[in-house]
């Protein structure tokens, strides 16, 4: 595609607006409402989120993973701890998550700090995964170069045969991360690129932790 064709791709956003009066005082309640609406209108992959981490050299890295829960004020996803993102989070736990929902013309951007879920939490989720996904998690060399797909298919088959009739347990290098937000921004596309944004920032700590939001007045 030519440069002038790329630069000419655009759309006008007309499906909603966002003010301080139209959102909840609690960003998690607001997120639940928007996610529920994205699911209801059959947004493709509504739980898909862009996860950004930083290398020890300070280089950003992104990939798309699926949100698997929002519990106790934390956003949860699961991955291979030996993957690039897993290693980067071990060295630097600061992270950002971005949800993009095209049908309602909305985005949510979250910044925070990640910590590993407990082994018990990771075990419980792993046990709920489809059988083939559990086998795949055990043999997939995430973020590593492989000689070809045939090799990983053979590894999958060998592991499936080896574990036939047995419980497929979670490998030690696989589990969850729970992200505690320090900033949450809700974005609504508007006409003429005059988009609406509401920013939530935390107040207090511990049991007294709350949120206040900034954005366009009513």
Active-site positions read: 193
Separation CA 123–CA 90 (nearest Å)? 20
Contacts of 170 (CB under 8 A, 6+ apart): 122, 123, 126, 127, 134, 137
**DSSP secondary structure of 74-92:** EEEEEEETTSHHHHHHHH-
CB 156 within 8 A of CB 211: no
User: Alpha-carbon torsion 189, 194, 196, 197, what sign?
Assistant: positive
Q: DSSP state, 176? A: E
Other Cβ atoms less than 10 A from the Cβ of 36: the count is 11
């Amino acid at each position: 595609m030519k440069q002038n064709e790329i630069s000419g791709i655009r759309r006008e956003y007309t499906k909603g607006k966002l003010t301080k009066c139209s959102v909840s005082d609690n960003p998690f309640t607001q997120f639940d409402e928007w996610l529920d609406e994205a699911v209801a209108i059959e947004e493709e992959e509504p739980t898909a989120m862009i996860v950004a981490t930083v290398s020890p050299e300070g280089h950003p890295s992104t990939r798309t993973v699926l949100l698997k829960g929002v519990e106790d004020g934390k956003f949860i996803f699961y991955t291979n701890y030996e993957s690039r993102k897993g290693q980067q989070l071990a060295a630097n736990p600061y992270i950002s998550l971005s949800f993009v929902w095209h049908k309602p013309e909305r985005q949510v951007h979250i910044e925070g700090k990640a910590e590993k879920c407990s082994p018990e939490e990771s075990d419980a989720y792993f046990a709920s995964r489809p059988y083939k996904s559990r086998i795949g998690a055990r043999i997939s060399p995430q973020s590593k170069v492989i000689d070809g797909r045939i090799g990983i298919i053979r590894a999958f088959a060998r592991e499936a045969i080896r574990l036939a009739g047995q419980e497929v347990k979670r490998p030690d290098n696989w589990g969850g991360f729970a992200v505690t937000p320090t900033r949450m921004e809700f974005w609504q596309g508007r006409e003429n690129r005059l988009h609406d944004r509401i920013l939530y920032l935390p107040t207090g700590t511990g049991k007294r932790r709350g949120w206040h939001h900034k954005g366009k007045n009513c």
